[in-house]
A = this chain, B = another copy of it.
C-alpha cells in the first residue's frame, strides 16, 4: 500500500478522553474512531489488525474441529423467553421493537439461538460431537462504556458452542477449546494463562478465563511462575486424542493461577516465594461448560443409543477480537507507539523513502515495494512528501515490525537501513538481504 493513497489519519495530539494506553494509541494511530459512546468505526489500519486476529482465531477453531457458521445480530425476544434469560438479562440487553411491534434484541451472546438451530436439525447421538462457532458483532449496553475497544458496547465476538451426549464427552469438547485457546493466544504473540473463573450470567460449573499479563492490565492476577515457561501445544496436536488433550489441560491447571475475584491467599502463599507472580492481567478469552442449562428448558435433545431422548450437554467459548486488538497493544507498546507482534501487524514492513523525488531513492523504494509485495508481504510504502523524522515517527507509532529507510547516503554504498521495531536494533543491508530477512528466505 502506498501511504500517499491510503487513509491513515494520524492524530498529533493525545486524545483527552482516552484513559488507557491502548485506547490512546488506537486513536492516535488512526485505527479506530468513536461514532457514539462505546461504538467504534474501524479505520483501515485498525481493520487490518482486526482481520489478522480473526484469521488466526478461525484457523485455530477449525484446527480443533469446530465448524463456522454465522448467526444474525438481531434476535427474537421469544427465543430468550424460552431460556428464561429475557427478563433476567437486565439493562445491558439492547431491546428493540420492529415496525410490527415485535420484541427483538441485538444479541449480546448466542446460547439460545444456537440451541434453536441445533434442535431444529440434530436428532441423533450419532451426529455428535458438534462444535459450531461464529464471528459476529454483539451489543452490550454498558452503563458507562470506556477503555476504547477494550470494553465497547458494539464489539466483535467469536463464540463457539459445543454439543455432546454426556458430561464426559462435553469435558473433552471443553478441553479441546482450552488447547485451541492456548494456541490462539500464542499465535497473537501473547503469553496467556488459564485461570479458574466465575461463570456469571452464562452459568455452569466449569469455567476458565485466559489472562495475558500486561503492566497496564485491568485487574490483579496471581499465578505460579512456571506457567510462563510452559510450552504451548504444537500445530499438529491431535484433537481426537482424548487422553492427550486431557493431559495438556491437566498440566496447564496443575499450578496456582487465579484472578482477584477467585484468589485464595493461603493457596498462593503456599507457593515458594520466588515462584509467585502477582501482576496485572487482561482477560482475552473465557470458556464455559454448563451442561443442560439451555438444552433442558429449550428441549434440545437427541436420541441416545438406547432410543430415549437425552438433553445435550453444552459449553460456550468466547474470544473478543475487538478486545484482543487493544489487549495486544497493552502488552506491546513503548513511549513511541505500538510494537505489533509480526503475526498481527497491519503491515509487516514499512519502506520509507527519505528523499521523495530523488530518482535513485524513488527507484530503490519502488523496487523493494514491488519485490516484497510480489512475495505476499504486507508493505506500507511511505511515499509521502514529508520529512524523514515524520516518517520515522509514523512507522514507530503504528508499530510496523520491519522498518526500512532508504536514503541517498546509504544507496551510494548500495545499502538501506533496517530497524526492528521490537528491539530498536538497526543494520545497514542490501535490498536483497532485506527481502531475505523479512521472508525468512
The interface of chain A, by Cβ under 8 A from chain B, is 5-7, 9, 30, 33, 35-36, 39-44, 46-47, 50, 65, 67-76, 79, 91-92, 94, 96, 98-99, 102, 104, 106, 113, 116-117, 120-122, 130, 132, 137, 139, 141, 143, 153-154
Q: List 8 A-B contacts (CB under 8 A).
A: A7-B121, A7-B130, A36-B104, A39-B72, A41-B69, A42-B71, A44-B69, A96-B106
Number of copies: 2
The answer to whether A154 touches B73 (Cβ under 8 A) is yes
Given A41-B69, A43-B69, A94-B96, the answer on whether A75 and B137 have CB atoms closer than 8 Å is no
The answer to whether A35 touches B139 (Cβ under 8 A) is no
Chain B residues with Cβ below 8 Å from A65 are 5
The answer to whether A40 touches B72 (Cβ under 8 A) is yes
Chain B residues with Cβ below 8 Å from A71 are 35, 41-42
The answer to whether A33 touches B73 (Cβ under 8 A) is no
The answer to whether B116 touches A35 (Cβ under 8 A) is yes
The answer to whether B70 touches A41 (Cβ under 8 A) is yes
Q: How far is the CA of A71 from the CA of B150 in the complex (A)?
A: 17
Chain B residues with Cβ below 8 Å from A73 are 73, 106, 137, 154
Chain B residues with Cβ below 8 Å from A44 are 67-69, 132
A223 to chain B, nearest CB (A): 35
Chain B residues with Cβ below 8 Å from A30 are 121
Chain B residues with Cβ below 8 Å from A70 are 41-42, 47, 50
A390 to chain B, nearest CB (A): 15
Chain B residues with Cβ below 8 Å from A5 are 65
The answer to whether A74 touches B154 (Cβ under 8 A) is yes
The answer to whether B104 touches A98 (Cβ under 8 A) is no
Q: How far is the CA of A307 from the CA of B189 in the complex (A)?
A: 47
Chain B residues with Cβ below 8 Å from A41 are 69-72, 113, 117
The answer to whether B113 touches A35 (Cβ under 8 A) is yes
Q: How far is the CA of A74 from the CA of B38 in the complex (A)?
A: 10
Chain B residues with Cβ below 8 Å from A154 are 72-74
Q: How far is the CA of A6 from the CA of B129 in the complex (A)?
A: 10
Chain B residues with Cβ below 8 Å from A96 are 94, 96, 106
Looking at the complex, which one of B75, B130, B143 makes contact with A99 (CB distance below 8 Å)?
A: B143
A290 to chain B, nearest CB (A): 21
A126 to chain B, nearest CB (A): 9
Q: How far is the CA of A39 from the CA of B104 in the complex (A)?
A: 11
